[in-house]
Structure formats: C-alpha cells, structure tokens
Structure 1
Amino acid sequence: MPATLHEHALFAGDPVLAGVHHLNSGIEPHAHDFLEIAVIGTGHGRHVTSQGEHPLRRGQVIVLRPGAWHGFRDCTDLTVANCCLSAQALRGELAALHDIPMLRRLLWTDPVASGTHGVAVTSVDPAAAEEALAEIDLLEHDLGADQRRPGRVLGRLITVLGVLADGREPERQTREATIHPAVSATIARIEAAPAHPWRLDDLARAVSLDPAHLGRLFRRHVGLTPLGFLARLRAERAATLLAHSSLPAARVGAAVGWDDPTYFARRFRTLVGLTPTEYRRRSRSATPPRLSTPAEATGERERS
C-alpha cells in the first residue's frame, strides 16, 4: 500500500534532494508530493505503478510528478539514483527549467501526458546512465556539505538534467521551439488560481488568441489541452491536500476547483490511478519506504 513521502520532512530547506541507493529487497509502493527522477543502474528488479509491474533495465529513467506513486519489487543488487525536486521550488526558483525545451519535455510534458497517471519511463544510453549516476552521487555530496553552496547545487542539478535529456533514446530527442509566450502566460494564469472555473474561451481571450489556436499551441508545447493541464494541476494539488490535511475528500475537491464530489473522485482516479479515499488511506496506512544506502547494502470548461 503506498505511503506518502513529504517534501517538508525530507528537503531540509533545499529545493533538491539526491542520493544513490542499492536495493536488495522491495520498496513498498509510495507516493510523493514532490517530483522524483529515478535513474536505474546495474542489478535487477521490477517497477510497480498504476500501469502494472514491469522489469527494470539499466539506463531507464523514471520521472514522477507530485501525487504519482510507484514501488520496487524483487530487487537484487539494484542501483537506483534519485534526484528529487521540491514542488514549491518548481513553482519558484526552479520555474525557469520549464522554459528549456528539452527539460520541459523531461519534467513536464511526458509525465503529465494523458493516461500516464503522472509517471513517465524512458531510457538513456549506458554511458549517459553512468554519468548521471556519478553526477547524482556528487550532488548528494554537495547537499551534505557543512557549508551550503546553492550555486554549486544548482549547477550540478542542471548537469544531471542535461545528461538525462541528451542521453534519451533517439526517438525521444525531438526538436522543440521555445515555448510560445501565450502558453507561458496561460500556464502562469492557471497556476496562480487553479480553483478558478476557467473556460477555454476566457483563457484564449486573455492572450488574444482563438481558442482552437491556443489549444493547438498547448498540445505542441505541453502535450495537453489548457483544460487538460488545469485538471493535472488540480489533481497534484489535491494529492498534497489529501496527504497533508484532514479535510474531507469533498472539501479537498472543492478547494482545488472540483465542487462536485462524484466528479472530483472520477477525475482524480483518472489522473492519479486511485480514488481520493484510496489515495488518502494508502498514504497513511503504510510505513514510509526506506532506501538502503551503499554502506548498508554492501467553450470548453473544466467542470466544478
């Protein structure tokens, strides 16, 4: 049953968390209220998500948006390097990453695409995987240093993301134009007030575009329609509230813009893979997973 890992308890004030781990047992399914990137190294194991259970391969890169869940089973000498980004930082000091096309696809477009439940799995070549593992190890060291070096941490993070973006399988390396200003403005408007009853024509009017044209631009740059992006954002915010607060599920839905409890439950399950009640119950009923260290291993409207 998934537990939920919370950024306020893990990040210690930093926007980034990193570590290289060696697994010889399973990790119970767990959710996050932050973004996680897991790079698979040597060893064997199976990955569990709402999409089922699949064998892990060296060089796989797993990206999970806030609210998504996963786990590991049957691990033998499995090396996993984790690089986690605070959701708050992604809306703040790390927001500029969204303006870099290759990182926008890695961190936003692929894992928020329809039907993914916030999880994207891709692959990099073996050399890129080894480089990413080494850089994440160095990032962990920088984060653990006695003296805080935010500039070095940021530089190391960009290096990790760049290695993963450059090393993806050739079919994933698509050329993308700089994000259209109308898309950036619409994203900012939605993120500032996700509970607002946005209509597509209102969003389009605000950026002086035809609704159909704005929809095409969003699909090109984000992988979703504007209202699809709104729904994903609402689901991520709802997941955080379900895990952190004691608000009844119906009030959680209303807080993020879905006033109808039945509709909220249906949309949340579609986007996350669990009903709100299941997500909350599982996030609180299991012992949070623990990764072993190397030493231990030796016109359109979103309904309300």
Structure 2
Amino acid sequence: MPATLHEHALFAGSPVLGGVHQVDLDIESHAHDFLEIAVIGSGHGRHVTSQGEHPLRRGQVIVLRPGAWHGFRDCSDLTVANCCLSAQALRAELAALYDIPMLRRMLWTDPVASGTHGVAVTTVDPAAAEETITEISLLERDLAGAESRPGRVLGRLVTVLGILADGRDPGRKASEPVVHPAVAATVARLEADPARPWRLDDLARAVNLDPAYLGRLFGRYVGLTPLGFLARLRAERAATLLTHSTLPAARVGAAVGWDDPTYFARRFRTLVGLTPSEYRRHSRAAAAQAAPEVWPVSGW
C-alpha cells in the first residue's frame, strides 16, 4: 500500500535532493512524483516492488521513474543513499542528461521498459557503490549549507551519475549511440503535449521519416515504440494529477490523453502496478506525511 512523497514538498526549489540513511525499520511502500536513485551499501533488507519482494545486496542501484513505487522490509543496519531528481527539472534544466547515452539508458530507457512498472534494478561493484554513497553524503552537505551553491550541487550530481554509469555493465557503453535527432525531436514533441491524440504517421511526418523507420529508431534509442513511450509519459503525468488534484479519475485520464475511463484504468495499472483509484487512495492517506515520517531512520 504505497504512500506518496511529493516533489513540491521536498525539493525546496532545488532540482536535486540527496541523503544517506541507516535503515533499521521497515519503510512503508511509497510512490513519488520525482525520479529516485537508491544505492545500497552495507547491511541487510528486502526490497518490495510490484514485481515482488527480493533480498537487497550491496552495490544494487534502484532507479524509479515518477509514479513508480517501492518499499523496504526486514532492514538491519542497511545503508541506503538516495539521489532524487525533480521531474520538472528533467524536462527543463536537467534535460541535457537525456543526450548522454549512458545516462539516457540509466534514467530513461531501463526503467520505462515494458513490464518494469517504472523500476529498474542493476548492480555496480562494491567500490563504486561506496564511492557513490560518499558523493551523495557530500551532496547532502552541500544542500544543507546556509549558502546556496547550485554549481557545486550540479557538479556533485554529475559525479554521482558518472560513477554509477561507469559501474553499470561497462561492456555496453561503447555501443550506446548518441541519440538520433529525429528521436530527440519526437521525444521533445511528446513531452511537450502528451495529451494530444498523437498518431505514429503524424510523428513520422514531423521528422520527415517513414513511420516504420521511426519505430525502429525508437526501439534502438529508447527501448520502446513512440506510442509506448507516450503511454509511459501519460502514466507519469496521471500519477502527478492523481496525487495533487481532486479531479475524478476519469477526468485525470482525459487530461493526459486517455478519454475512455476503462482504458485509462487498464493502461495505468499495466504501467504503474496499481489502478488509478488505488494510487490516489494511498496517496491521500499519506498526503500529510513529511519525508522523516516515511523514512523512519536514524540520521535523517
């Protein structure tokens, strides 16, 4: 039963949030409307997602897209370092991260793949995990300082992402191509107006390509079809509306481009792992919770 962590209540104007936590209690399953990276250090625990419950291992890296949910159980002296990115910033000042192949795969392609429900779990070697945890603790210090240091924070973020990208399946990095301009233009077009009734023919015509060829390019660079990517965008925007608005679920679906309430409910559950009503119910139950209440850990 996920609770919900809210971007507007946590980021305080910064595009990045970070912290290192020692977890000795269960962490209630929770969703959020931002992107989260959780790096696992020493200790023990189990990870809960829509795919089931699995033991945590040192060096695991968990990436969750907005709208995804997870939790932790049976934790004992478990070190979890979180680096969170504002969804709004990922569409604005951090959008350039998408143009870096290894980061595109880590932050976009892997967690939006079919059947993942927005959650991707990979592993880096323990040394890379410890280095990342150290950098996230420095990021936390920079964010807590009395003086705003946006340049320092951005540098820490790039370092954290770089260490993780270097530690993830390095054999594949050299083969990851720079994103094709037609794919980049189509992604930008879809993100700008996901509620529009897009057709593959229209998208292909806008970039002067054959629809089948654009589909193949998307499969290569994004891991989804153009309309599959659009569905993920709609689910993420719907999760935000379900969390922050009082619109009926049917109107939420219509607002993101799914006019048929039954179809919206089915697609949302397929992509997120909960029905819209379940997602909203758990979100409302936790709306008054601040982060310290959701993460009952020492050192918060």
Is the structural similarity TM-score above 0.5?
yes
1:290 aligns with 2:283: no
Q: Tell me whether 100-109 or 280-289 shows the greater mean CA deviation.
A: 280-289
- Tell me the distance in 1 between the aligned counterparts of 2:46 and 2:195: 37
1:153 aligns with 2:153: yes
- Tell me the distance in 2 between the aligned counterparts of 1:199 and 1:295: 50
Q: Residue 53 of structure 2: SS of its match in structure 1? A: strand
- Tell me the distance in 1 between the aligned counterparts of 2:116 and 2:171: 19
- Tell me the distance in 2 between the aligned counterparts of 1:210 and 1:174: 28
Distance 1:269 1:152, change over 3 A: same
1:125·1:169 contact (CA, 8 Å) conserved in 2?
A: no
- Give the aligned partner of residue 100 of structure 1: 100
Give the C-alpha shift of residue 291 in structure 1: 2.3
- Tell me the distance in 2 between the aligned counterparts of 1:87 and 1:126: 29
Distance 1:82 1:172, change over 3 A: farther
Letter matched to residue 291 of structure 1 = W
Question: Post-superposition, which runs of at least 4 consecutive aligned residues in structure 1 deviate over 6 A?
Answer: none
1:36·1:83 contact (CA, 8 Å) conserved in 2?
A: yes
Give the C-alpha shift of residue 224 in structure 1: 0.4
Q: Tell me whether 228-237 or 280-289 shows the greater mean CA deviation.
A: 280-289
- Give the aligned partner of residue 89 of structure 2: 89
What is the aligned length? Answer: 296
- Give the aligned partner of residue 18 of structure 1: 18
1:21·1:292 contact (CA, 8 Å) conserved in 2?
A: no
1:22·1:292 contact (CA, 8 Å) conserved in 2?
A: no
- Tell me the distance in 2 between the aligned counterparts of 1:290 and 1:233: 26
TM-score by length of 1: 0.95
Letter matched to residue 23 of structure 2 = L
Letter matched to residue 5 of structure 1 = L
1:27·1:73 contact (CA, 8 Å) conserved in 2?
A: yes
Distance 1:140 1:112, change over 3 A: same
2:27·2:296 contact (CA, 8 Å) conserved in 1?
A: no
Counting only pairs closer than 5 Å after superposition, residues 1-304 of structure 1 correspond to structure 2 as 1-170=1-170, 173=173, 175-286=175-286, 288=289, 289-292=293-296, 294-295=298-299
Which 5+ residue runs of structure 2 have no aligned equivalent?
Answer: none
- Give the aligned partner of residue 299 of structure 1: none
- Tell me the distance in 2 between the aligned counterparts of 1:51 and 1:12: 32
1:215-249, Cα deviation, whole Å (9 max, x unpaired): 01101111100000000000000000001111000
Give the C-alpha shift of residue 282 in structure 1: 1.3
- Give the aligned partner of residue 301 of structure 1: none
Letter matched to residue 214 of structure 1 = L
- Tell me the distance in 2 between the aligned counterparts of 1:157 and 1:188: 23
- Tell me the distance in 1 between the aligned counterparts of 2:83 and 2:125: 18
Which 5+ residue runs of structure 1 have no aligned equivalent?
Answer: 297-304
- Tell me the distance in 1 between the aligned counterparts of 2:299 and 2:144: 16
